[in-house]
Amino acid sequence: MALDPDYFFYSDGTITLTNGSDLATGTFTAWDPAVLPFDFVFPNDGMSGMAVIKEVLGMSQIRLAKPWPGPTLTDAPYFMVRWTKHTDPKIYALRLSDYLTRLKAIPENLEEIGQQVATDAAAVASALPTITQAASDVEADRQAVDIAAAAIEVAQIATLEARDETIEARDVAVSAAGSTQSLWDTRAAALAANIPAPVQYLRTAGYAAVGDGGGALYDRIAAPSTAKAWHFQSADGAWWALVADPVRPRMLGAKGVGTDDTAALQAAIDYSAAFNVELDLGAGDFGVAGELLVNTSHFKMTGAGLGNTTLRAVGNFGFMLRIGPSANYCRIQHLTLLSMYTTTRSVRIDENATVIRFSGCEFSGDVADNLVYSMGQNVDFDACSWYVGGANTLALTFDCYNQNGGVTDCRIGGPGKGIRIARSSAAKHRVEGLRVVGTYFINTGEYNIEVGPSLFTVIDSCVLDQAGLANVKILDGADNVTLSNNWVANGGGFSGTGVYIYANAGNGHIIQGNQFQFCAQAIVVDANPSSRISNVTISGNSFQSMGNNTLVLDSVNGCIITGNTDGSLPGGGSWMTKGTFGPGRYIFDNNKWHTTPPGLFHSTSSYRFGNEIGIRGSNEGATMPGASVTSMTIPHGLFTTPDIAFAQLEGHNSAVTISNRTNTTFTVSWNTAVNPVIHWQAKVAR
């Protein structure tokens, strides 16, 4: 639009200014080369300062009087004004009032217009004595004051009328000059408008109100076959489509204040899927009153971080977020899914969903079921946290099919249960290759991890604490479970078990390099009349403060026990075997055990001390007779006669004699009747 001398305000299109350059370029502008120097341009609607226009080079380029001193601005909103001198004081006052209203303040160091400002200031100063005199004569000349007040009111009305005329003239000029872009306060305002045909794009400053975060760019389109939430039709019949990357729910009407935003959230998900752009939730508390469905590939939804972005259940229904069977390569990150005080759960991942990752998310609720349920493939949770708010609340279930999934560097806490691996249908494939790594479990429910029908589950470098019954339960149909490098402690006051392997659990389990503390039993391997466990390896573990027996092994058909250390003095002894449903077979060497009381080993089970390349090693431990005596028979647990047996009485200097070495015991004798702690060691050296 040409800048007509009768209109001194112009703001169509956007402007780009580069720091240190005196050239500025416009987009969707129609600057008139006839515009004279000493007009002003205010980028960012005056929020970034102002500049003096030296000359207009074309419809989309101007030269500034000085290089632009501010930061580089790209496609910024702006407005221009003309410095027009009028001889009529009333008109000048109206113009000056309009400038001050629009511009807020004008910089003081504009050398190019200094002379003009000085001239206008002199004109104002010449009228100042009259105004001052009128003010001092208020009491004497009330009528003059009333007349002045009336004049001010007229001037204010005239200013508002002039503003409306300017806006109207701008809109007329848009059509006349063929501008292709238009600015509207809200989407509703644009919807109600008759928008000139040359306008191809329009921009809103908000969805329902200016500045509500829903401002967006829209493109003129042909009438869609099916209107979507991101389309609207203006009053003149034209159709418009949202253009956004990333898309934000507030662009589609979300408020983010805890009320129901379900429709806007689903529309944003659908838009993201349709145009393959990221969904940026932004900060806010978004109410969810029904299931949100993601059923597409390469979907990404990002929040502003825990505590900043929340999806909050505002009713009782199934899951807040469902990852459908056609979803693959999807990532959800940096948000909280909250469903406390409802029966709503957080996330369901359907069968056939593939490569799904949750990063930096929090799941919180007290429903009597799982918060997150997965039947997908390659499903991973990274740096996530759960609060299981009820005793029957379960953090996460991997059910069937889940292959090569993982939980890494996560946190699970609260009065509920931790992670469960299950197979809800015998006709479906069991879970395979699941990893739980570097995760903290401080939940007081029945278990930290329950491993059901599965293959090759790995639990590594975790903290497993506070579980009420067992930290890790290995159930029917679980094969080849490996627990390594974990810290395991029970929260039941020595009433619970660290690792409990049930009779039908399957075979090939490895428990190695773990630290166990404060358990009634560290490891229990059970049996029943029809099932016995085979091929269990227990090696390199450390045990402290066990309440009863450290190991309880019942009818295990092949168990290797090597390199373990029991640093406590458990009431039932370091380990015991039972043959409730048949004799077991055990190979062991190089353990440091406590053998109080004796008789811990099932008499008909088979025991072999040593390893596959020869019988060589030792057992050692500490024990007490329980009364003042002069000798004690110690079960050394080697099941072969030791070559060397050694004993020392703690706190006593009595000479010690070793005698009666057999394949199960040896006798320690001393001179004075005492009740000492006896530290002993038995070795096979051949």
- In this predicted structure, the answer to whether residue 100 has a pLDDT above a threshold of 60 is no
Compute the distance between CA of residue 626 and CA of residue 597 in angstroms, rounded to an integer. Answer: 10
How many whole angstroms from its chain centre is CA 456? 28
For residues 331-355, average pLDDT = 96
Strand 61-64 relative to strand 23-27: parallel, antiparallel, unpaired? antiparallel
Q: How confident is the model at residue 121 (pLDDT cuts 50, 70, 90)?
A: low
Compute the distance between CA of residue 430 and CA of residue 2 in angstroms, rounded to an integer. Answer: 73
- In this predicted structure, the answer to whether residue 665 has a pLDDT above a threshold of 90 is no
Q: What pLDDT is stored for residue 104 in this prediction? A: 44
Percent of the chain at pLDDT > 90 equals 53
Q: What pLDDT is stored for residue 212 in this prediction? A: 95
Of 7-16, 122-131, 316-325, 599-608, the poorest mean pLDDT is in 122-131
Sequence-ordered list of residues with C-beta below 8 angstroms from that of 267, at least 6 positions apart, any chain: 228, 229, 230, 249, 252, 253
For residues 161-190, average pLDDT = 66
Q: How confident is the model at residue 612 (pLDDT cuts 50, 70, 90)?
A: very low
Q: How confident is the model at residue 646 (pLDDT cuts 50, 70, 90)?
A: confident
Of 258-272, 362-376, 566-580, the poorest mean pLDDT is in 566-580
For residues 290-317, average pLDDT = 97
Compute the distance between CA of residue 305 and CA of residue 147 in angstroms, rounded to an integer. Answer: 61
Question: What is the DSSP-derived secondary structure letter of residue 96?
Answer: H
User: 610: left (phi > 0), else alpha (psi -120 to 50), else beta?
Assistant: left
More confident residue, 333 or 589: 333
Q: Beta strands of 59-148 (E only): which ranges?
A: 61-64, 73-76, 78-81
Compute the distance between CA of residue 24 and CA of residue 289 in angstroms, rounded to an integer. Answer: 49
How many whole angstroms from its chain centre is CA 75? 33
Hey, CA dihedral for 567, 572, 573, 579, is it positive or negative? negative
- Locus of tokens 């339960």: 473
Q: Tell me the sheet residues that pair with 242.
A: 218
Of 11-15, 425-429, 447-451, 568-572, the poorest mean pLDDT is in 568-572
Q: Beta strands of 69-154 (E only): which ranges?
A: 73-76, 78-81
Of 231-240, 598-607, 624-633, the poorest mean pLDDT is in 598-607
Q: How confident is the model at residue 629 (pLDDT cuts 50, 70, 90)?
A: very high
Compute the distance between CA of residue 376 and CA of residue 359 in angstroms, rounded to an integer. Answer: 16
Q: What pLDDT is stored for residue 250 in this prediction? A: 98
Compute the distance between CA of residue 133 and CA of residue 130 in angstroms, rounded to an integer. Answer: 5
Strand 51-58 relative to strand 39-43: parallel, antiparallel, unpaired? antiparallel
Please provide the CATH number assigned to the domain covering 298-614: 2.160.20.10
Q: What pLDDT is stored for residue 449 in this prediction? A: 97
Domain 615-686 belongs to what topology?
Immunoglobulin-like (2.60.40)
Nearest CA among 377, 243, 225, 360 for reference residue 304: 360
Of 35-49, 187-201, 305-319, 560-574, the poorest mean pLDDT is in 35-49
Under a CB-based contact definition with an 8 Å cutoff, are residues 280 and 334 in contact? no
- In this predicted structure, the answer to whether residue 393 has a pLDDT above a threshold of 80 is yes
For residues 308-333, average pLDDT = 97
Q: How many helices (H) and strands (E) does the chain have?
A: 5, 62
Tell me how far CA of residue 109 lies from CA of 42, 51, 125, 239, in angstroms.
Answer: 15, 11, 20, 47
List, edge to edge, every strand of the sheet that includes 478-479.
431-432, 454-455, 478-479
Under a CB-based contact definition with an 8 Å cutoff, are residues 345 and 368 in contact? no
- In this predicted structure, the answer to whether residue 319 has a pLDDT above a threshold of 80 is yes
Compute the distance between CA of residue 65 and CA of residue 53 in angstroms, rounded to an integer. Answer: 6
Q: What pLDDT, in 10s, does the model give residues 276-289?
A: 999 999 999 999 99
Compute the distance between CA of residue 264 and CA of residue 249 in angstroms, rounded to an integer. Answer: 6
Nearest CA among 20, 7, 18 for reference residue 80: 7
Q: What pLDDT, in 10s, does the model give residues 220-259?
A: 999 999 999 999 999 999 999 999 999 999 999 999 999 9
Of 120-134, 189-203, 355-369, the poorest mean pLDDT is in 120-134
If you average pLDDT over each of 62-71, 100-109, 144-153, 441-450, which comes out highest? 441-450
Give the H or E element holding residue 124.
Answer: helix 114-136
Q: How confident is the model at residue 375 (pLDDT cuts 50, 70, 90)?
A: very high
Q: What pLDDT is stored for residue 680 in this prediction? A: 85
Q: How confident is the model at residue 436 (pLDDT cuts 50, 70, 90)?
A: very high
Angle at 407 between CA 403 and CA 412, to 5 degrees: 140
452-464 b/e with 16+ CB inside 10 Å = b? bbbbbbbbbebbb
Percent of the chain at pLDDT > 70 equals 80
Phi and psi for 491 in degrees, rounded to 5? -100, 10
Of 250-264, 403-417, 541-555, the poorest mean pLDDT is in 541-555
Compute the distance between CA of residue 269 and CA of residue 292 in angstroms, rounded to an integer. Answer: 8
Q: How confident is the model at residue 52 (pLDDT cuts 50, 70, 90)?
A: confident
**685 token code pair:** 């050296």
- In this predicted structure, the answer to whether residue 157 has a pLDDT above a threshold of 50 is yes
Q: What pLDDT is stored for residue 90 in this prediction? A: 47
Q: Tell me the sheet residues that pair with 294.
A: 323
**359 token code pair:** 């990063």
Compute the distance between CA of residue 19 and CA of residue 244 in angstroms, rounded to an integer. Answer: 28
Where in the chain are the domains?
9-174, 181-243, 298-614, 615-686
Amino acid at the residue 220: R
Q: What pLDDT is stored for residue 401 in this prediction? A: 81
**pTM: predicted TM-score of the whole model, two decimal places:** 0.69
Q: What pLDDT is stored for residue 635 in this prediction? A: 81
For residues 619-632, average pLDDT = 85
Q: What pLDDT is stored for residue 190 in this prediction? A: 94
Nearest CA among 331, 402, 335, 328 for reference residue 364: 335
- In this predicted structure, the answer to whether residue 513 has a pLDDT above a threshold of 80 is yes
Q: What pLDDT is stored for residue 677 in this prediction? A: 86
Q: How confident is the model at residue 617 (pLDDT cuts 50, 70, 90)?
A: low
How buried is 139 (Cβ within 10 angstroms: 0-12 exposed, 13-18 middle, 19+ buried)?
Answer: exposed
Length of the chain: 686
How buried is 101 (Cβ within 10 angstroms: 0-12 exposed, 13-18 middle, 19+ buried)?
Answer: exposed
If you average pLDDT over every residue of the chain, what do you get? 84
Q: What pLDDT is stored for residue 430 in this prediction? A: 93
Angle at 286 between CA 284 and CA 289, to 5 degrees: 175
